[in-house]
Amino acid sequence: MKIRLLSEKDVRSVSPALPEIVALVEQAYRLDGEGRAEVPTKIGVHPERANTFLHAMPAWVGGARALGMKWVSYFPGNLAHGQPDSTGIIILNDPDIGLPCCIMEGMYVTFIRTAACGAVAAKHVLQRPPRSLGLIGCGGLGLWSLRVMAAVFPTIEQVLVSSRTAGSRERFCADMSKEGRWRMTPVDDPVEALRNVDIVVSSVPPGDVRPVDGRALAPGSVFIPLDLVNSWQDNVLTEVDQVAADNPAHFVAQVKGRRAAAAAGLKPPMSIQDAVAGKTNLASSGARTMIAVCGIASTDVVVGWEIYRRACSAHVGLEFDMQG
C-alpha cells in the first residue's frame, strides 16, 4: 500500500494559483449546498493547557471525488519555545477502495482555504467592487487574507492594518507594500480599520481585548471574523443586519458557549453553501454582513486532492509502503 508524503515545500511547489484555490473552495461550497457532500461538524479534544485543541475533520465531496480528513492542533504559547502554535496534516483516501493514498502538511492549505472561504462569501454579498480592506491582526491569516482578497477583488487599493503591537503592523505593511499596488497603512486605533471600509477581516487569538466595535462597521460592508468569536464586541451582533456561516449550527453553538452575554443579539445565520448553490441570496444593498468561516473539511479535502493530483503528475513527494 503506497502512500505519497508531501512536505510543506512539496505542497507549495505544486499548489494551484490563488484564483484556482478560490474556484476550488467555491466548488466545495456549491456541491455541499447541492447535497453532494458529507461534512460532519469537527470533533476534538482539549488537553490540559489553556485554549488548546486537536480537531478531527473528515469529509466526502462526491462531485469532486474528494475523500479525506484533516487533523489539526492549536497550542498557544508554543512560539515562545520555538515551535508553531498551529500544526496540521491532511490524510487523503482513495474514494474507490478507501485506502489512504496521501499524507500532506496541512497548515498551508488551512491558511489559503480559510482566506478563500471568506473571499467566496464576500463575492456573494458585496453589491459593488470593494476598494478598501481592513485587517485586524496581521499574522498568517492576515497575510493570506490580503493576498486572496486582492486576487479576487483587484479593485482593492487601500489596506488598513491594526494589530496588538505597532512593530508588527509596521513590519507587515512594509513587507506587503512590495507585493502589490495597494496602499498599506498601519493604524493605532482599530476603529480606523473599520470605518468606511468595505471588507474587514479579523484574525486575533483569544484574549480580553476585543477591537471590533460594531458601531464602526460601514453600511454595505462585510465583516469576516476568521477568529470566529475572539475579536468582536457584543454590539457587533446587534449592529450587523445579517449573518451567514458555512456551519450555522456550529457558529450558534460557539456564540452561545463562548460569548453567552452577546448570544441574544445573534440573528439566525444563513448558509454560505446555499448562497453559492443559488438557493438563497446574501446580496443586500446597504446591509452590514457578518461572515462566519467555521472551518469545514470539504474545502480542505477538495483543495488537498487537487494538490495531490498535481504532485503525482509532477512526481513530487516521497512514496513509501505503509506495510513494507
37-38 and 242-245 strand pairing = unpaired
The CATH number linked to 192 is 3.40.50.720
Say how many CA atoms lie within 13 Å of 109 toward its Cβ.
35
Classify strands 270-271 and 289-292 as parallel, antiparallel or unpaired: unpaired
Give yes or no: residues 147 and 99 share one domain. no
- If you compute the radius of gyration of the chain from its CA atoms, what whole number of angstroms results? 19
**Average pLDDT score over residue span 88-102:** 97
pLDDT at 305: 98
- CATH number of the domain that 80 lies in? 3.30.1780.10
Domain shared by 203 and 268, yes or no: yes
At 79 the pLDDT is 86
Judged against a pLDDT cut of 90, whether residue 51 lies above it is answered with no
Query: Quick one: CA torsion of 119, 125, 126, 130, rounded to 10 degrees?
Result: -20
> pLDDT band for position 12 (50/70/90)?
very high
Comparing CA positions, the residue from 90, 87, 93 lying closest to residue 11 is 90
Q: Are residues 40 and 52 in the same domain?
A: yes
Question: Which phi and psi (to 5°) does residue 74 adopt?
Answer: -140, 115
Same domain, 65 and 118: no
Residues 273, 147 share a domain: yes
- Amino acid letter, 219: P
- 219 and 141 in a common domain: yes
**Inter-CA distances, 103 with 44, 93, 238, Å:** 20, 9, 43
Distance of CA 219 to the CA centre of its chain: 23
In angstroms, the CA 257 to CA 252 distance is 8
pLDDT band (50, 70, 90) for residue 66: very high
Task: Name the grid cell of 229.
Answer: 468569536
Residue showing cell 478531527: 56
Domain enclosing residue 28, as ranges: 2-110+297-321
In this structure, are 306 and 157 located in the same domain?
A: no
Grid coordinates representing 203 are 484574525
One domain, residues 75 and 187: no
C-alpha cell at 112: 489559503
N-to-C CA span, the chain: 8
Same domain as 255, residue 163? yes
CA distance 138 to 149: 14
Q: What is the pLDDT of residues 235-262, one digit of tens each?
A: 999 999 999 999 999 999 999 999 999 9
Whole-number pLDDT of residue 39:
97
Instruction: Please give the tally of structural domains in the chain.
Output: 2
One domain for residues 97 and 18: yes
Chain position carrying cell 457587533? 236
**Residues 252, 265: Cα–Cα separation, whole Å:** 11
Do 126 and 24 lie in a common domain? no
What is the per-residue pLDDT for 90? 98
Cα separation, 59 vs 299, in Å, equals: 9
**Do 307 and 266 share a structural domain?**
no
Say how far apart CA 280 and CA 273 lie, in whole Å: 9
> Does the pLDDT of residue 207 top 90, yes or no?
no
> Which cell is 181 given?
499596488
